[in-house]
Structure 1
Amino acid sequence: MIFHAIGLMSGTSLDGLDICFIKFEKKHSWSFEIIKAETVSYSENLHNHLKHAIDLSAEQLLELHSEYGFFLGQSVRYFIEKHQLKNIDLIASHGHTVYHQPQKKFTLQIGDGRAIRLETGIPVVYDFRSQDVLMGGNGAPLVPIGDELLFSEYDACLNLGGFSNISLQSEGKRIAFDIAPVNIVLNKLAQNLGKDFDENGNLARKGTIQKDLLSSLNSLEFYHQPHPKSLGIEWCNENISPRLENLNTPDALATITEHAAYQIAEVINNNRLKNILFTGGGTYNQYLIEKIRDQIQAEIIIPEKEIIDYKEALIFALMGVLRLNNEINVLASATGSTADHCSGIVIN
């Protein structure tokens, strides 16, 4: 079986829309080839709308859901035309997360898949998380199915995005969970200094780690809960932001970086991992990587740039392919739902 799919991913850190065109082949197992990939930057206006979407009225949010869906569709159409792509079986879209409260049985990723279908004329799979939440799961992390099928040679796969999350084999099952906030907090702090993000961790490197704050962060209840578990921006607004209010920005960056590194190292060491594939934008933060390396014995494997940047878009494309084939694309052992299942709304 051979499938050609486009995966779309917009992370909580708002770096832009990742578009990835992949050839998948299944013989005895799945293999893939990334043919084309790029990141589309958001206009200042759209960036601000997405950033503040959590504060919108219901009517404004519905408007943005539609507007963002057409933006996704138009972006894909330009991508297809630019690279003269043919024979695309489907587009799989993660959407942009606005609300994530699985304990209340809801999660919302905006970007209407019907608008993508109208713009491109290609079948679309979207809304991968809601079904899992309705089934008692966290709706996250979803990428473990891709880690299982495409990256099983590693002890674990760790993503450094808005939040850090990990997936690994444990007692014959693939488990996964969010670890700690990373770029969702670091980027916001860097913006206080007029930067989009803390390049290489250079700003954090100049700061002083605040020991009392670090201790307070590490004692937060989330870190002592069993997996599966997931984080959302609401959690950061409640638990992280108030603790940083009276701190200068370099010290806040240094402390949050140390906090993220400590929590990641705890998970790696507690699970006795030997080699871990690192991906996501935080992989470029040299200071963060140094801080993690200082606290672990495991080997950190940093792959080629297109895997670092587009692994999540790649895996959502795979999830779309699995959905069209009615195969399992969400693992209960990772999300905590009542059963493995096949998730996603299909627009043919």
Structure 2
Amino acid sequence: MKTVGSGKKANFGIMRALGAMSGTSLDGVDAAVVETDGLRIVGFGAQDYRAYSQEERDVLTAALGTWGGGAADKAARIVEAAHIEVLRGFEDVDLIGFHGQTLAHEPRGRGTCQVGDGQALAEALGRPVVWDFRSSDVQLGGEGAPLAPFFHFACAKWIGGERPLCFLNLGGVGNITWVDPRKAAPEDEGALLAFDTGPANAPVNDLMRERLGLDCDRDGAVAMEGEVETGALELFLAEPYFTRMPPKSLDRNDFAEMVGLVRELSDADAAATLTAMCAAGVAAGMAHCPKPPEKVLVTGGGRKNPVLMEMLRVSLDCPVVPVEEVGLDGDMLEAQAFAYLAVRVARGLPTSCPATTGVSALVGGGVVSDPE
């Protein structure tokens, strides 16, 4: 096992990297191949998805907010087994980027906790595994999140972007990356700004499970029948987080009291209000962008919710479209991001900078584990 830090840029050969992501929505493991030299994207390869069973999801949910102990150990075993199962189906890859499962995130306190042992994956899969992407950033004063912005910069180049644009990821927590693709590199001044916008799908998913036994509000069907409780929305927006200057990040449970704000509402009104809170957090965050973006490209599960997408279109002053409209895959973008970042780590390139996580200097965070 070895830790890899930052190094000098060079003209590298193309690698086939396999990335895996298990997000805070706790739905399952995404896996996808990216062909890259760590600077530019050459192409995208095979992909797969392995859903968590309800029993597995219950164990992971019980471990959220923990920093170790029995619950975290049980979660780690599930995360490792699920990843090994899906990643074994890929052939002809040079290395693997493994994010693990975030259980707790407190960058200004105890740090960040992702479970899953990259060395165990390397042994099981017979490939080098890059993992523990966040710890180095947090240790140097950064938020440790979001980590996809350097990949978003490469995506903006890949799609031929010529003006500033935003990538908006709506998973369990929302995060946004403002990109100026006219810059030469992601670490250049003015190339990126990134931060968490607020809760996204997690509160709605939790509400659906608690009240209706559903995994999510599929197609926004429940929220579509409800009305937004403006008083609860105003209380939500009064949280100091929204006026804090970025970079900034959140834990999945930082806004757990949101569910309390809608507890007395009907199912439909509660879902509509929580969905509106997600959109309102994004709208508040847009005020921090250095320049208005040409468009907002939405990735993650939230882009499949027509109620949420319409709320975003009404509240933002630019087109809001799924990333599929520019030829990207919104289901796999985060997995692809960790494939791309794995190559950067292996080759000594930075993966975060002051404008993306608030870290004090360029950081190439991550550990490379080789199979014995």
The aligned residue for residue 253 of structure 1 is 271
What is the Cα deviation at residue 306 of structure 1?
Answer: 5.8
1:32 CA displacement: 3.4
* Gap runs ≥5 in structure 2: 1-12, 181-188
Q: Which amino acid aligns with 2:126?
A: G
In structure 1, what is the equivalent of residue 283 of structure 2?
A: 265
TM-score, structure 2 normalization? 0.86
Tell me: CA distance 1:16–1:66, structure 2 relative to 1, closer, same or farther (3 Å). Answer: closer
Q: Which residue of 2 aligns with 1:290?
A: 310
In 2, the alpha carbon distance for the partners of 1:334 and 1:255 equals 29
% same residue: 31
**1:324: Cα distance to partner?**
0.6
Structure 1 residues 62-71 or 183-192, which shifts more? 62-71
1:335 positional shift: 0.4
Is 2:150 the partner of 1:145?
yes
Query: 2: distance between equivalents of 1:267 and 1:329?
Result: 23
Q: Would the alpha carbon gap of residues 50 and 32 (structure 1) be closer, same or farther in structure 2, given more than 3 Å must change?
A: farther
Shift of 1:34: 2.0
- Aligned residue in 1 for 2:126: 121
Q: 1:277 aligns with which of 291, 297, 313?
A: 297
1:212 to 1:157, Cα distance in 2 relative to 1, 3 A: same
After TM superposition, give the deviation of residue 74 of structure 1 in Å.
Answer: 2.8
Which residue of the partner structure matches residue 186 of structure 2? none
Question: Distance between the aligned counterparts of 2:200 and 2:65, measured in 1?
Answer: 22
For the residue of structure 1 that corresponds to 2:315, the secondary structure is coil
Q: Which runs of 5+ in 1 are unaligned?
A: none
After superposition, the Cα gap between the structure-2 partners of 1:301 and 1:54, relative to the gap in structure 1 and judged at 3 Å, is closer
Report if the CA contact (8 A) 1:105-1:136 is conserved: no
Moved more, 301-310 or 248-257: 301-310
CA contact (8 A) 1:69 1:111 kept: yes
The residue aligned with 2:232 is 213
State the Cα deviation string for residues 254-277 of structure 1 (Å, max 9, x = none): 111112212222333663222122
1:241 to 259, 262, 266: 259
Amino acid aligned to 2:193: I
CA shift at 1:136, angstroms?
0.9
Query: For residue 83 of structure 2, what is the aligned residue in structure 1?
Result: 72
Distance 1:200 1:158 in 2: 18
Which residue is equivalent to 1:98? 103
- Whether the 8 Å contact between 2:245 and 2:288 is mirrored in structure 1 is no
SS in 2 for 1:307: coil
Query: What is the distance in 2 between the residues matched to 1:129 and 1:248?
Result: 39
Return the alpha-carbon distance in structure 2 between the equivalents of residues 317 and 53 of structure 1.
Answer: 26
Please tell me the residue identity of whatever aligns with 1:68: V
Structure-to-structure mapping, 1:302-313, within 5 angstroms:
302-304=322-324, 307-313=329-335
Write out per-residue CA displacement over residues 54-100 of structure 1, whole angstroms, 9 at most, x where no aligned residue: 366613423432442233123211x22xxxx22x1101011110010
TM-superposed deviation, 1:135: 0.9
Give the total of aligned pairs.
339
Aligned letter for 1:233? R
SS of the equivalent of 2:43 reads strand
Q: Equivalent residues in 2 for 1:142-181 (5 A)?
A: 142-152=147-157, 153=161, 155-169=165-179, 172-181=190-199
1:54 and 2:64 matched: yes
Distance 1:267 1:106, change over 3 A: closer
Paired with 2:82 and 2:331, the residues of 1 have a C-alpha distance of 21
Asked if 2 retains the 8 angstrom alpha-carbon contact of 1:137 and 1:337, the reply is: yes
- Normalised TM-score (structure 1): 0.92
1:234–1:303 Cα change, 3 Å: closer
Letter of the 1:90 counterpart: L
Q: Conserved in 1, the CA contact under 8 Å of 2:294 and 2:318? A: yes
What is the CA deviation profile of residues 188-245 of structure 1, one whole-angstrom value per residue up to 9, with x for unaligned ones?
Answer: 11222122111111110111211111111111111111111111123122x3233233
1:188 aligns to 2:193 (yes or no): no
Q: Which moved more, 1:66-75 or 1:255-264?
A: 66-75
The whole-number CA distance in structure 1 between the counterparts of 2:350 and 2:287 is 31
Higher RCO structure (Cα 8 Å, ≥6 apart): 2
Distance 1:162 1:60, change over 3 A: closer
Corresponding residue number in structure 2 for 1:229: 248
Residue 331 of structure 1 and its aligned partner are, at CA, apart by: 2.0
- Residue 209 of structure 1 aligns to a residue whose secondary structure is coil
**C-alpha distance in structure 2 between counterparts of 1:306 and 1:168, whole Å:** 17
Q: CA distance change for structure 1 residues 21 and 209 in 2, over 3 Å: closer, same or farther?
A: same
Provide the rounded CA distance (Å) in 1 between the counterparts of 2:81 and 2:119: 9
The structure with the largest helix share of the pair is 1
